[in-house]
Amino acid sequence: MRYIFFCIFSFTLWMLWSGQYALHHPLVLAMGVLSCGFVVYLVSRLDIVDEEGIQIHLARHLFLYIPWLLWAIIKANIDVAKRILSPKLPIAPRIVRVRGTQKTDLCRVIFANSITLTPGTVSLDLDGEDIVVHALTEEAADDVQSGDMDRRATAMER
Amino acid sequence: MIIIDILSWICLILGSILCIIGGLGLLRLPDFYSRLHGGGITDSLGAGLILIGLMFQSGLTMVTVKLAMILIVLFITSPTSTHALGKAALISGLKPVVTDEHID
């Protein structure tokens, strides 16, 4: 059942990208069908269609989370850009541990990816509940350790 | 029309400047791990602003939808690849340069 859904989904995407052209060329259309079938075959061999599936309820939370994340990214970008441009290079790199309170894998991935996406912090490793983070400055380390991003990522599970 | 053009050029130029700053960061920052942050600037806001500027140029067409998809895919894959680089360096035993000794 999941594979049928995946098949329809990937073919819809393919039609969206190259549909206008393919409708007049049966050969191109056939190639699209073939490539979609091949991708589904590869995915079934890799066995990566997991039990979680697609979580519709997440979309509602992402609607609030993404604007906040974008604002965080903009602030962090300006800060790191200023530090790179200043002649004294005022950085203080350090390794810190951040507690990730997410239960599901998907929300953990979102949290770790958000940490990496904001310049100034890069998630390096998962260690049980903790995420090992390399921070460029003390402020960036304090920011990620304050747990604000963690709370917002965990809030998406409900 | 002229307003959209101005917005588009502001985004394109800001994005390009951020890409250059990211490249400068790659050169100036001291060690491997801190250089990842320089790449982070280019990845996130640099590429994002350039794509948004291009979206303003193409207007409400299919091209804009495709550019938006590129933006979404980029925002998922670029931190993943940065993490893969950092983790590979950590596993192979590269020690990060740190200024604070008391943590961990």
Provide the pLDDT for residue A149.
84
Residues of chain A contacting residue B38, judged by C-beta atoms under 8 Å apart: 80, 84
- Within an 8 Å CB–CB cutoff, is residue B66 touching chain A? yes
The more confident residue out of B96 and B57 is: B57
> Is the model's pLDDT at B100 over the cut of 60?
no
Give the model's confidence band at B102: pLDDT under 50 very low, under 70 low, under 90 confident, else very high: very low
- Within an 8 Å CB–CB cutoff, is residue A97 touching chain B? yes
Residue ranges of alpha helices (H) inside chain A are 2-22, 26-46, 57-85, 105-117, 138-145, 148-155
Å between A57 CA and nearest CA of chain B: 19
Q: What pTM does this model have? A: 0.80
Nearest to A80 among B41, B75, B76 (CB): B41
> Is the model's pLDDT at B101 over the cut of 90?
no
Give the model's confidence band at B103: pLDDT under 50 very low, under 70 low, under 90 confident, else very high: very low
User: What is the average pLDDT score of chain B?
Assistant: 87
Express each pLDDT in A123-140 by its tens digit.
Answer: 888 887 888 888 888 888
Best A70, A79, A95 residue to mutate vs chain B (most B CBs within 10 Å): A95
**Rounded CA gap, A30 and B101, in Å?**
61
> Is the model's pLDDT at B54 over the cut of 70?
yes
Report domain extents, chain A: 2-46, 57-155
In the β-sheet with A94-99, what is the strand arrangement from edge to edge? A94-99, A130-135, A121-127
Q: Are B75 and A117 in contact (CB under 8 A)?
A: yes
Provide the pLDDT for residue A54.
61
Express each pLDDT in B12-45 by its tens digit.
Answer: 999 999 999 999 988 888 888 888 888 888 888 8
What is the residue-wise DSSP string for B29-65? SSSHHHHHHHHHHIIIIIHHHHHHHHHHHH-SSHHHH
**Rounded CA gap, B35 and B24, in Å?**
10
CB environment A38-55: b (16+ within 10 A), e (fewer): eebeebeeeeeeeeeeee
Name the residue of chain A whose CA is nearest to B36's CA.
A122
> Is the model's pLDDT at A51 over the cut of 70?
no
**Rounded CA gap, B28 and B42, in Å?**
15
Give the model's confidence band at A49: pLDDT under 50 very low, under 70 low, under 90 confident, else very high: low
> Is the model's pLDDT at A91 over the cut of 90?
no
**Rounded CA gap, A73 and A76, in Å?**
5
Provide the pLDDT for residue B61.
83
Provide the pLDDT for residue A55.
65
Q: What is the largest CA-CA distance in chain A?
A: 62
Do the strands A121-127 and A94-99 form a parallel or antiparallel pair, or are they unpaired?
A: unpaired
> Is the model's pLDDT at B97 over the cut of 80?
no
Q: What is the ipTM of this complex?
A: 0.82
- Within an 8 Å CB–CB cutoff, is residue B83 touching chain A? yes
Nearest C-alpha neighbor of B99 from the set A110, A106, A158, A96: A96
Give the model's confidence band at B51: pLDDT under 50 very low, under 70 low, under 90 confident, else very high: very high
Tokens of B88: 């590979």
